[in-house]
A and B are shown apart, each in its own frame.
Chain A
Amino acid sequence: MLTIKDFAVSFRTRRGEVDAVRGISLDLAEGETLGIVGESGSGKSVTSYALMRILDAGGRIKAGSAVFDSRDLVQAAEHDMQAIRGREISMIFQNPRAALNPIRKVGHQLEDVLRRHGRATRRDARAKAIEALEAVRIRDAEARYDAYPFELSGGMCQRVVFAIALACGPRLMIADEPTTGLDITTQKAVMDLVRDLTRDRGMSSILITHDLGLAAEYCDRLAVMKDGQIVETGPAAALFADPQHPYTAKLVDATPRPGAGLRDLLPAEARTPLADHVPGGRALVQVRDLVKTYPAKSGPVHAVKGISFTIREGQSVGLVGESGCGKSTTSSMLVRLLDRTSGDILFDGFDIADIPADRFVRDARRSRIQMVFQDATDSLNPRHSARQTIADPILRMSDLRGSALAARIEELATLCGLPLTLLDRFPHQLSGGQKARVGIARAIALDPKFLILDEPTAALDVSIQAVVLNLLADLRARLGMTYLFVSHDLNVVRLLCDHVIVMQGGEIVEQGPAVQVMDAPSHPYTRTLLAAAPMPPAATAAAPRSAAE
């Protein structure tokens, strides 16, 4: 029903014309779900925007055709495109709350679309809008009709966006990273809904995502894009089992999946042996009945409701949970940026929770506990070069100066795989992976014993993530650090951690050895989490790392 041939899109930028899509060809059959996967900059989103002809001002379709039902979308007049959009082809985007008009009721936004395409008159618009809301399984649709986007949760907003997309009965739906930023369970609910509804109505759909696992689970066929070109297409299982193109192989390898170990994420030539790390027996960090309560206008918020756990020297502990479970609050307290309400945090036997956060800055122990932050863009000072960023903790907490300081910075950079020539660059001149390395170098500058990693790879492309995870494992072995790895991505946690703590609603629902918690969970919530995580097809090539399957 959709045939794309030699499609090319370019953008006019200050540096001249940039080709975002360089001639791709695709076929989509009736009722089929196609996944377009690729890393950032691959041109996958641009393709969909160009198809719908909603490119930004500087973009244009350079060449090619996109025939939908014997009509070439590239040549169609704007007037005709407006009739097609929303009625025959519709699109949903990421960041659902931002995708809705903030000052307009949700129901009214639905009505706008219905009336535009002649699917409702002024009289029955309200009823039809409520119907559309019910179709996406929103409970209490009548009440929700009058809601504003800010009153709804992220998942609910995505359903509304989906309702708008489905309202006029389109035949093709394009979903551009629809679940990025959503919790795993919400993600599963939304994707299941999308799959069910498109299947029920016999719609074709295109899912654009960077998550290979997600695409594998929900799509019939995948197309892999790199640098504006399609390198391979085929059914998901085939792509995973026997990738033809080296880039596909690289992507498949880099995707954390059952049966693959850390080294298996890397391309074959980089798979140096992984040093064993043996967790010592001594307890390094002991948390006892930790509580954090925030005063708020509508009553106190119990972020953390009394949790206890122990981290032994050399261990890597994963802390998993969805948003609002209290894991970020816990890690903030552990790293002493936040004061607890009650409870103990014992580090090397000493209760560091007794020292208020403001004073801990000067404490001798400050350099022993460090943190790697989530979003490397946010965690690097835009005005400081990489060198200055790495130097800061050394200047503040040690006596190293001059050439000794410079030598140490270069040593750290090399340790983290950061080319020395990049040291004088500013964050905006570095790539995502390079910024992550700077953040890690800064964190290990003073040889901390305990490193807390707050979703350090969440914002990275999957191939870069593979590299960074391996870097973290190597550093752990070399420097003998203990890790607390906070993440929502269970597959990643499985790779790096030997112990896992699962949190929900401010409490620990389950904790234990990773193998046990992941493969034989006892708590229902853990089971829900594991079931919701998209599971790529298991690795067959590499030697299986985990026992059970």
Chain B
Amino acid sequence: MTETTEVPGRKPDGAWAHLLHVLRENPVTMLSFGMFAFFLLQAFFGALLVPHDPLATNAANALQPPNWTHWFGTDSLGRDVFSRVVVATRLDLTISVLAVAISFVIGSVLGAVAGYWGGWIDALLNRVLDTIMAFPLFVLAMGIVAALGNTIENIIYATALINIPFYARLVRAEVNIRREAGFALAARLSGNSHFRTLAFHIFPNALPPMMVQVSLNMGWAILNAAGLSFIGLGVRPPTPEWGIMVAEGANYIISGHWWVALFPGLWLMLAVFTFNLMGDGLRDIVDPRRRT
């Protein structure tokens, strides 16, 4: 009494095969992953591979335009811009990855709990999120860093805090939609407690849309950290960081020394651009519905 199946039984892709399939299917995804790999390489091995010491000053060599020794020119203290830009990758990536990871975890937990149980927990969470989001987020980050001090940890915490509302809201909405879905009820019938149902059945389904948010946030986090450094509230000199370098270069652009600000800004843009492009690709990898 069986029906005829339409598609002859083909073993569905395993995880690895699916990853490769996603990369191949969309060239933009492939490009973005490639660029990401490029940045990762710089983050891990940059310090070892750069031609000059990013901190070495040389007053005589200050403000040289790009040439064969200094591919990106030198800044006001004679430091090699190229080396500094590459080495800064590690710092900026670390800040954004850690900040996003923290806000992802905290936001997911809060949002999942609020979305599933509703009631006063939900109301409380909403008010708290509203309060956080009442502050223009960058201003809040500024305030936190100013209050707690100019350290990298504080930048990470501030950036994490202002991103929590996005995850919390997103997870809350996704969990809420699925709370009464058939499979959630079926999970309860199968002997899963509320916690298990939420954690293992409902929440994993919220992951695909969150992946897009994660990649967008990585980009924002970098912009945030760079912005904070730009106004002097972030990383302190002489640490190489894209934002600080643009700030330093801003003074010289009026007088025509464009390279000091352009290259770090360009790298910054490319990194954020990469993360934004990766969003769709990440979602496709995580979403089982994309598996054919």
Which residues from chain A sit less than 8 Å from chain B, CB to CB?
270, 335, 337, 358, 361-362, 366-367, 370-371, 373-376, 378-383, 385, 389, 392-393, 396-397, 417-419, 421-422, 424-426, 428-429, 431, 433-434, 439, 442-443, 464, 467, 470-471, 474
Contacts and interface: CB of A to CB of B under 8 A. Distances in A.
B205 A381 contact: yes
A324 B267 CA distance: 60
B1 A417 contact: yes
Given A358-B194, A361-B191, A467-B3, A373 B205 contact: no
Contacts of B1: 270, 417, 467, 470-471, 474
Contact of B189 (A375, A393, A474): A393
B201 interface: yes
A464 B187 contact: no
Contacts of B12: 385, 424-426, 429
Contacts of B194: 358, 361
Contacts of A381: 183, 187, 201, 205
B223 to A, nearest CB: 32
A305 B291 CA distance: 47
A422 B289 CA distance: 16
Contacts of B193: 361-362
B67 interface: no
B291 A426 contact: yes
Contact of A373 (B7, B185, B204): B185
Contacts of B288: 382-383, 426, 428
B28 interface: no
Contact of B289 (A370, A378, A426, A474): A426
Contact of A433 (B3, B182, B183, B289): B3
Contact of B5 (A270, A422, A467): A422
A366 B191 contact: yes
B185 A419 contact: no
Most buried by B among A335, A370, A378, A464: A378
Contacts of A464: 3
Task: Output the residue of B181, B183, B289 with the most chain A CB within 10 A.
Answer: B183
Contact of B191 (A373, A396, A434): A396
Contacts of A431: 3, 5-6
B11 interface: yes
B190 A380 contact: no
9 contacts: A376-B182, A379-B185, A381-B201, A381-B205, A392-B190, A424-B11, A429-B291, A431-B6, A464-B3
Interface in B153-189: 181-183, 185-189
Candidate in A361, A385, A442 with the most chain B CB atoms within 10 angstroms:
A361
A393 B289 contact: no
B9 A421 contact: yes
B217 to A, nearest CB: 23
Contacts of B186: 371, 373, 379, 439, 442
Contacts of B185: 337, 371, 373, 379
B11 to A, nearest CB: 7
A379 B193 CA distance: 17
Contacts of A379: 181-183, 185-186
B192 interface: yes
B73 to A, nearest CB: 48
B255 interface: no
A393 B188 CA distance: 9
Contacts of B292: 429
Nearest to B183: A381
A464 B11 CA distance: 25
A202 B149 CA distance: 83
B1 to A, nearest CB: 5
B189 A335 contact: yes
Nearest to A41: B6
A434 B9 contact: no
A422 B5 CA distance: 9
Given A378-B183, A396-B191, A422-B5, 13 more contacts: A335-B189, A337-B185, A337-B188, A358-B194, A361-B188, A382-B205, A418-B2, A419-B2, A424-B12, A425-B12, A429-B7, A431-B3, A439-B186
Contacts of A396: 190-192
A434 B3 contact: yes
A270 B4 CA distance: 14
Given A419-B5, A426-B12, A467-B3, A366 B289 contact: no
B289 A428 contact: yes
A380 B182 CA distance: 7
Given A421-B9, A428-B289, A471-B1, A361 B192 contact: yes
